[in-house]
Structure 1
Amino acid sequence: MEINADFSSFVATDSNLLPWVPSPMAGVDRRMLDRIGDEVARATTIVRYAAGSKFSAHTHGGGEEFLVLDGTFSDEHGDYGPGMYVRNPVGSSHSPFTRAGCTIFVKLWQMREDDQEFVRIDTRAQDARWEEGAAEGISVLPLFDAEDEHVYLTRYGAGAAQPPFEMPGGGEFLVLEGAVESDGVRHETGSWLRFPKGARATFTAPEMALVWTKTGHLAGL
């Protein structure tokens, strides 16, 4: 299966309009943003767990990265509420489940083999380390940083404008709250954008917005 598998092209998708596709596990459905492979795949997906659903124990041969969008996602290592950012490195394993239901944004098989860092960050915590961004009204919360991968949340105040920036290693964005405009096109909550390596972009926020941001990771594709 291939979905948005041409990483040399720009993609913008309103995930709210995508169909929910059943997974092999009852109560677990997916909205597929990009994918190369079948059930074992390099994939970027929004996954919805119904109350009381679970996924069988499995090992992440290519690593797993996810952000909890709503509800509480759980495994034998803990409970992860809305706003939790998690990285489970290559070779890690778990048995995920949810009691009341949840939705997560997840990326699979996209980590380097030597990436062995577990990450757990509550982005909604009062002591979250927000930093000044590139322009007035913009702040960023670093989540993960490596030579070829930079992950952070970007918070825009109403009317804030991100100066034009280059993405030699490509970039990926998920609008979590509010709306942003890029090259004159408005992208509402739930919009997912992927820019190829070498792209240049600008973002403005007609209203307050929160965006998950990842850059550099497409350099080798």
Structure 2
Amino acid sequence: MTDPTGLNDDFNKRVVIDTNLMDWQASPSPNVWRKRLHHSGPAEAGVVTSIVRYEPGSEFPAHPHPDGEEIFVLDGIFSDDSGDYPAGTYILNPEGFSHAPSSGPGCTLFVKLRQYTGARLQVRKNSKVLDWRESPDGQFKTLLLDDQEGFLGRTELIRILPDAKMVAGKYQNGTEIFVLEGAFGDESGDYSRGFWIRNPPANENNILRTRDGCTLLLKSDCFS
């Protein structure tokens, strides 16, 4: 079955969603729930960005990922055939990867499916044990998660320090932001933990401000 309208599938429009206000929806696997932020294509085989929650002891049957998969573990512990991944772990499974995911204690994930074609390298990074790089002006710190030569898109963590004000820059191929901790604001509004913002290609420079600091999962130049 194909969704004829799609969900937030016009990448020329800015999208802002407070995921805290969304209801959990059932997935094909019992005790695994999701909040879809973007979807296009077949109902269970399309391009999708979502928040996924595994209840304790839940699991998915083994399945492939024809066009790759990106995961950031928001809380709990996520597991599959290759290991156990605690909160703060970034995972990129390349095209053709197969696994049987599960969670013993339960977990919540930020997930992007069918958006990583080509012969990419597999990535596993635990952000809790890696060193961050501070900006020259001391306003923020960054932690690179994925940026592979020959492929569109860059994924990183941005930690904006308290009382900071910074120019977000202009990205030719758009950005996605998921607020992991704290809150920030810009000319259009204020965004706290759980907000997802997608800015269209060539979006104008934007000044970000934060009083108490925040941590963001940022994908830049990610739309062709």
TM-score range, shorter chain: over 0.9
Report matched runs for 1:34-183 at 5 Å. Answer: 34-37=38-41, 38-115=43-120, 117-125=121-129, 128-133=130-135, 135-146=137-148, 148-183=152-187
Q: Which runs of 5+ in 1 are unaligned?
A: none
Quick one: percent identity of the two aligned structures? 36
Give 1:153 deviation, angstroms. 0.2
Deviations 1:86-109 (A, max 9, x none): 000000100000111100000001
Number of the residue aligned with 1:195 = 199
Task: Verify the 8 A CA contact 1:134 1:163 in the aligned structure 2.
Answer: no
**Change over 3 Å in CA distance of 1:208–1:76 after alignment to 2:** same
Task: Verify the 8 A CA contact 2:157 2:218 in the aligned structure 1.
Answer: yes
Quote the Cα distance in structure 2 between the aligned partners of 1:129 and 1:112.
29
Q: Which runs of 5+ in 2 are unaligned?
A: none
Quote the Cα distance in structure 2 between the aligned partners of 1:134 and 1:164.
15
Match of 1:16 among 8, 17, 20: 20
Number of the residue aligned with 1:216 = 221
TM-score (norm 1): 0.94
Q: Which moved more, 1:9-18 or 1:141-150?
A: 141-150
Question: How many residue pairs end up in the alignment?
Answer: 216
Quote the Cα distance in structure 2 between the aligned partners of 1:164 and 1:47.
28
Give 1:164 deviation, angstroms. 4.3
